[in-house]
A = this chain, B = another copy of it.
């Protein structure tokens, strides 16, 4: 059951496709999971992809679609008419997935697809879900779940559940509601396996149920699911009426995406890209930060230029510009990364000034340690006179402390203003540190050496 997809396999497959050998193609794919077929798609061109989709069952096609990379999916969707999407793909999908696909279409095409959906109930659910922002609980939830009324007994419940579960791949929780659809609690399948048939549900359900509201942020939902080790969480509206459920597999995707995005932001990449994206896409994602960094470098050049006449006397100071700059950058990134992560995990609640004070102390400690070593090298290795060496070290300590404080403060400020603190890491910090680090360095030198 665990099949490895090799290069040879793909070559053999494309050969069969070019020979229009439907039977062999289907044979080769029959044992594969849709996620594997989607992975193979990234090695094929659009004609090859379309040929495969035309052979597969609608159900498997729909699953493959859901597993594709965004770009591949968008390109393929354009090949499908609204009718094909409405008749072949959407009916095979859970509502949350259907919404993801439909929202990738143009507005006119969206309307066409929805108008042509046969199952009116499914269509209604999809329209409901389309209202919610993609990155909220409402945007993540699906309408497929099993719910029972507290006034039913176990027999009625099991009968109703069998009916409702017909559409479901797997049932994790059964939700108990009252006549107004207010969420009251859950009924575990285990409980159902072990309770006698005539008991009323209101006597056996567990009222300790955790839920999220439709408008909560996806990352907050992810944090809750992770914290409380949940497999599924119900989503309710403002009146605690049950609207949908979110399962942990959707949350895995949210977490993965969020982590990837933060990581890339820290590395100065502005949109989610992969190693196999085109050079143009990669350039678009990378050039903006490089330009910002470039202006930072030009700013630093201006500052050095501004001090240049005075510099004649103390040329040796220029040797240590790279040291000042890289240390400021490294300290700043460290500080901001810890804060960004703490904010993402919800671990930072307390006092902002306490955090900044702590970074101040930490910077001082690290700064003293590093300055001591630099003092040694600058004097004995580079033969810099004592006073100048001391100047360099004082500047270094100051720069480290300020870099640490700035690195802490920027993400906190961004987060307070409702912006994503993750953008403050990486080149953002490096660039601001480039400029102010060099400036402080020469300023302190000027104060001590008096040029």
Asked if B165 contacts A334 (CB within 8 A), the reply is no
A389 to chain B, nearest CB (A): 12
CB 8 Å contact bits of A279-318 with B (1 = contact, 0 = none) = 1001100110111011011101110110010000001001
A370 beta carbon closer than 8 Å to chain B: yes
Among B252, B263, B297, the residue within 8 A (CB) of A324 is: B297
Residue of B nearest to A275 (CB): B342
Residue of B nearest to A297 (CB): B323
A106 beta carbon closer than 8 Å to chain B: no
Which residues of B are found within 8 Å of A263, using beta-carbon distances? Answer: 259, 262-263, 266, 337, 341
Asked if A300 contacts B287 (CB within 8 A), the reply is no
A171 beta carbon closer than 8 Å to chain B: yes
Which residues of B are found within 8 Å of A373, using beta-carbon distances? Answer: 291, 294
CB 8 Å contact bits of A342-366 with B (1 = contact, 0 = none) = 1001011010000100100110011
Asked if B275 contacts A348 (CB within 8 A), the reply is yes
Asked if A370 contacts B290 (CB within 8 A), the reply is yes
A207 to B31, CA, bound (A): 12
Which residues of B are found within 8 Å of A302, using beta-carbon distances? Answer: 381-382
A332 to chain B, nearest CB (A): 10
A259 to chain B, nearest CB (A): 4
Residue of B nearest to A39 (CB): B227
Residue of B nearest to A285 (CB): B334
Asked if A325 contacts B326 (CB within 8 A), the reply is yes
A362 to B277, CA, bound (A): 12
A238 to chain B, nearest CB (A): 14
A188 to chain B, nearest CB (A): 6
A385 beta carbon closer than 8 Å to chain B: no
A119 beta carbon closer than 8 Å to chain B: no
A82 beta carbon closer than 8 Å to chain B: no
Asked if A326 contacts B293 (CB within 8 A), the reply is yes
A21 to chain B, nearest CB (A): 25
Asked if B274 contacts A366 (CB within 8 A), the reply is no
A189 beta carbon closer than 8 Å to chain B: yes
Asked if A291 contacts B33 (CB within 8 A), the reply is no
Contact (A322, B434) CB under 8 Å given A279-B358, A289-B334: yes
A289 to chain B, nearest CB (A): 6
Residue of B nearest to A225 (CB): B252
Asked if B326 contacts A296 (CB within 8 A), the reply is yes
A359 to chain B, nearest CB (A): 9
Which residues of B are found within 8 Å of A362, using beta-carbon distances? Answer: 279, 282-283, 286
23 CB contacts below 8 A, A to B, read A33-B210, A35-B227, A35-B228, A158-B193, A171-B190, A260-B341, A274-B347, A290-B327, A294-B323, A294-B374, A296-B326, A297-B320, A297-B323, A301-B320, A301-B323, A301-B382, A304-B318, A304-B322, A321-B322, A322-B438, A325-B325, A325-B326, A326-B434
Q: Name A's B-contacting residues (CB within 8 A).
A: 1-2, 33, 35, 158, 161-162, 165, 168, 170-172, 188-190, 193-194, 207-211, 225-231, 248-249, 251-253, 255-256, 259-260, 262-264, 266-269, 273-276, 279, 282-283, 286-287, 289-291, 293-294, 296-298, 300-302, 304-305, 308, 315, 318-327, 329-331, 333-334, 336-339, 341-342, 345, 347-348, 350, 355, 358, 361-362, 365-366, 369-370, 373-374, 377, 381-382, 425-427, 430-431, 434, 438
- Ranked nearest first, the 3 interchain pairs of A and B with the lowest CB-CB distance are A297-B323, A267-B337, A259-B259
